[in-house]
Amino acid sequence: GWLFRRGMAWGRQSGVSKRQVILFILCACVCQSGAETLRYSLPEEMERDSFVANIAKDLGVPLSQLAARKARVVSEGNEQLFRLDQNTGALTAKESLDREEICPQSDTCTLVFKIFFENPLQLIRGEVEVRDVNDNSPVFPEKEMVLEIPETASPESRFPLESAQDKDVGINGLQNYSLGPNPHFSLAIGTAKDGVKYLELVLQRQLDREEQGELNLLLTATDGGSPPRSGTAQVRIVVLDANDNIPVFDREVYEVRLAENSPPEQLVVRVAAADPDEGSNGEVRYAFTQTSERSRQLFQLNRTTGEIRVVGNLDFEEAKSHKMVVKATDGGGLSAHCKVQVEVLDVNDNAPEIALTSLTASIPEDAPPRTVVALFSVRDRDSGDNGRTECSIDGDLPFRLTPTFDNYYELRTTAALDRERTAEYNITITATDWGTKRLSSRESIFVQIADVNDNAPEFSQEVYTMFVTENNSPMLRIGRMKATDADAGNNARVNYALVRQEGKEQPQVSINAENGDVYILRPLDYEK
């Protein structure tokens, strides 16, 4: 309202028309669309159609305007998660939201949506944070872990255990471990640099196979929810006879960089552990441990040679790195561990995606320059220059693209339109990324130009000469006058009429208003 009053006052002082002022204000409003962000939060696992917020109330928009301006909500991505009721202004979740499914392995889960208004066009950004609830218990990858430990193992020896996984995050995630009472082992809990807790079984009292050849321990993982949830696994200790050398890896950490388009069977790295013992006690076998199921699907470890090869399709957009732990075990059951860290390198394998948000299929030919015709967004799932995009229009057309925000573009007119010259435009938009091997996609927009009555009828000639023989019959047709109009529809429909001039004798002819046929009204006498 303030902008409108100031604009009209400036127009009166500057001699600018009211129409120009309104167009200026509309442009300013469109340019400012999306400046504010609505932020809400919602616990996960709420029932479908759960209330999120009243959009009309939060934006200060009358309810009548929601339907009048065709207000609607659009979520980012392919799945539409929210619904906007134009009658009440209520924003609701279409389905029950599962945070672990929507945002796996993420501490925060924020869903982005856009509110679109038309007449005038307006775009408002919104965010909904899906809050975690404690609906998942810690789970060990296996219900039973088997450790083969020689009886010669000295006190304070440490043995890694498989960690539990909890899909919840924060305080609801995995918090602590405990080990059932026993005379030989205690539990050591450490935290890696990436914040993940790891477990080690610590030997407190020397083992004696002849005294007890096998032990069974209960390992419990607990989260921090209220009430807390827990999961358990059995740890079976098999005590082995003496084998005094353990395998030793040639390095503790193997770091590898690998392109995401690496083909199957490509060698990633070869881990190697040596054991100076003889016979079966010196034969080393390799296996993954403390490695996620997804990494096991992408990489295969040869248990004899230690070669790790690609067996799945790597995707930089899915995961930028993979961490694995390889366990080397000799024939006597002694084992050692090393880490393998694979950094996935991005390859330009995703073309830009054009998503049309709003389109005006028909615009009048007297629409002023900079009229908004369409609104669309461009997204490229690659990173860096591979995900950087630019847009262009094919051909020399009276349209141009204007970037707005968040990779949104407006298609606007650049000059006056003339339907009689061009009645329709097929506009091809090309989105291209900046990768070394540039990828692109195209989207065609069909715009019709609506007719405006801006052309007067034109006769085929300025003077028509017609002849008639005297003593003719009444209402005799003696010729036709023809006029055309370059407009379309009713604007091009032509009606004919004789111009009556005051003070002059009424003509002896008439004209058909529909087709221009000229008739003699009564018989004529050449002598008169």
pLDDT (0 to 100) of residue 105:
67
pLDDT (0 to 100) of residue 27:
40
pLDDT (0 to 100) of residue 134:
81
**Domain 353-450, CATH 3.40.50.11540 — does that match?**
no
pLDDT (0 to 100) of residue 467:
92
pLDDT (0 to 100) of residue 12:
56
pLDDT (0 to 100) of residue 156:
93
Encoded tokens for 214: 């096998």
pLDDT (0 to 100) of residue 389:
84
Residue 416's CB: how many other CB atoms inside 10 A? 11
CATH code of the domain occupying 144-240: 2.60.40.60
* Helix 2-14 × helix 18-31 angle, to 10°: 140
Q: List the alpha helices (DSSP H) in 78-170.
A: 99-102
Residue 284's CB: how many other CB atoms inside 10 A? 24
**Cα(89)–Cα(349) distance, rounded to whole angstroms?**
41
Task: Compute mean pLDDT per 10 residues along the chain, 528 residues long, and list them.
Answer: 43 49 42 64 84 88 88 83 88 84 78 88 88 86 92 90 86 88 92 80 88 91 90 92 83 91 90 86 90 90 93 85 92 91 84 85 88 88 79 88 87 88 89 82 89 90 92 92 90 90 78 93 90
pLDDT (0 to 100) of residue 32:
40
Beta-bridge mates of residue 117 = 122
Topology of domain 454-527, CATH? Immunoglobulin-like (2.60.40)
Residue 35's CB: how many other CB atoms inside 10 A? 10
Topology of domain 38-131, CATH? Immunoglobulin-like (2.60.40)
Superfamily (CATH) of domain 248-345: Cadherins (2.60.40.60)
Domain boundaries, the chain: 38-131, 144-240, 248-345, 353-450, 454-527
- 144-240 and 454-527: same fold? yes
Cα dihedral 10, 13, 14, 17, rounded to 10, equals 70
